[in-house]
Structure 1
Amino acid sequence: MKIRPFSILIIFLFVCTGLSAQQDSLSVITPEQEKEEIKEKDYEPYNALAPAKAAFYSAVLPGLGQAYNGSYWKIPIAYGGLGTGVYFYLKNDEQYDRYRDAYKNRIAGRPDEFEGRITTAGLIRAQEIYQKNKEISILVTVGVYILNIIDANVDAHLRQFNVDEDLSVRPNMDFDALTGKTNYGLSLNFNF
């Protein structure tokens, strides 16, 4: 029978990790030591209201939910998005009013600033375009406001998600005292 180097490496790694696991399984941990170990990890208790608080704060004042979560770098992004939407709304409103006044003056028979350059149909089309752009700007602003609230809520949820090193997959070697045999396998260890 020929033993391949790869299988020797696998067996060696399995035995080495199994020996360390077997040594750990023989140690006795008292409840006091277990409580001290939990205190060392410094877990924060789960706060079920934290996401709702963060969303409420962001709804009252955009960016306040991000400050509540400690994500201060997101505040300028929220205000930048809201400011951009408001800016384009005001610019499109200004242009809409300009073309609307020119159209009213032309209908009334008074001179307007676009006389000879733009037809009456062109003034109507320009009003329609700027009206449409104003509505899109409002939708963008409302969308950024809603995303601000959703971001604060999701960020608060994810801050409470456990991502410590207690989640692990290790090869395990367990000695069965009843039969005197060693059991091999993989163990998935996770703590809540």
Structure 2
Amino acid sequence: MIFVFCCFFLSQTSFAQKDSTAIRAKQLKFGADKYNPLSPSKAAFYSAIFPGGGQIYNKKYWKAPIVWAAIGTSVYFYIDNSNEYDRFRTAFKLRSQGLKDEFTDENGNTLISTAGLESAQKTLRKNRDLSLLTGVLLYVLQIVEASVNAHLLQFDTDDSLSINPMIKTDPLLVEAPKLGLTLKYSF
């Protein structure tokens, strides 16, 4: 029993690999790579303070106008839907008090019914809230994108890090060839 335990214990330790994180830490201490662990948090901070700031910090200048356009479009639709909602809400309140509203002509004919005013209010309120939600999501998304991009900029893209797919036939079974896929990677 002890023999089996010793064999098992020795076999586990004999096939251990070198710790790649320790080797990486030694390389970083000696300046082999330019790794800045605070870079992603700085990019996220700059994006949180000023939308597109993290993209500029990451030197991805072409992304900043996209962020500004996306958030600006959301703000535009929020303001437009809010103004239209207020317009239909005011008309509904005036009509419910028996007063003339902007959707009533000089002859007293209503251009939009009371039910139409209520329906327009519901639709515009829903669109306004959706525009606000879209703007918040885009704001958070650009912060996350800046942080992830800062992480990926520090990723080692050396040519020695590659995956080379190869297709090999089985040499033992010549009469019934089987294909397999081998992925080789080297560091």
TM-score range, shorter chain: 0.5 to 0.7
- Distance of 1:121 and 1:131 partners within structure 2: 15
Choose which of 78, 81, 86 in structure 2 pairs with 1:89: 78
Instruction: Give the deviation of 1:43 after TM superposition.
Output: 5.2
What percentage of residue pairs aligned between the two structures are identical? 49
Choose which of 59, 75, 87 in structure 1 pairs with 2:64: 75
- SS of the aligned residue for 1:72 comes to coil
Higher RCO (CA 8 Å, separation ≥ 6 residues)? 1
Aligned equivalent of 2:158: 164
TM-score, normalised on structure 1?
A: 0.65
Q: Against the structure 1 CA distance between its residues 129 and 169, is the aligned structure 2 distance closer, same or farther, given a 3 Å change threshold?
A: closer
**Runs of 4 or more above 4 Å deviation:** none
Structure index of larger Rg: 1
- Distance of 2:186 and 2:53 partners within structure 1: 38
Instruction: Give the deviation of 1:45 after TM superposition.
Output: 2.2
Aligned equivalent of 1:18: none
- Distance of 1:79 and 1:50 partners within structure 2: 22
Quick check: 1:98 aligned with 2:87?
A: yes
Q: Which one-letter code corresponds to 2:138 in the other structure?
A: V
CA RMSD in angstroms, aligned pairs only: 2.2
Q: Against the structure 1 CA distance between its residues 134 and 161, is the aligned structure 2 distance closer, same or farther, given a 3 Å change threshold?
A: same
**Which consecutive unaligned segments of at least 5 residues does structure 1 have?**
1-37, 171-186
**Which consecutive unaligned segments of at least 5 residues does structure 2 have?**
1-26, 105-109, 165-183
Choose which of 111, 114, 121 in structure 1 pairs with 2:100: 111
- Distance of 1:69 and 1:44 partners within structure 2: 17
Aligned equivalent of 2:186: 189
- Distance of 2:66 and 2:163 partners within structure 1: 39
Q: Against the structure 1 CA distance between its residues 110 and 188, is the aligned structure 2 distance closer, same or farther, given a 3 Å change threshold?
A: closer
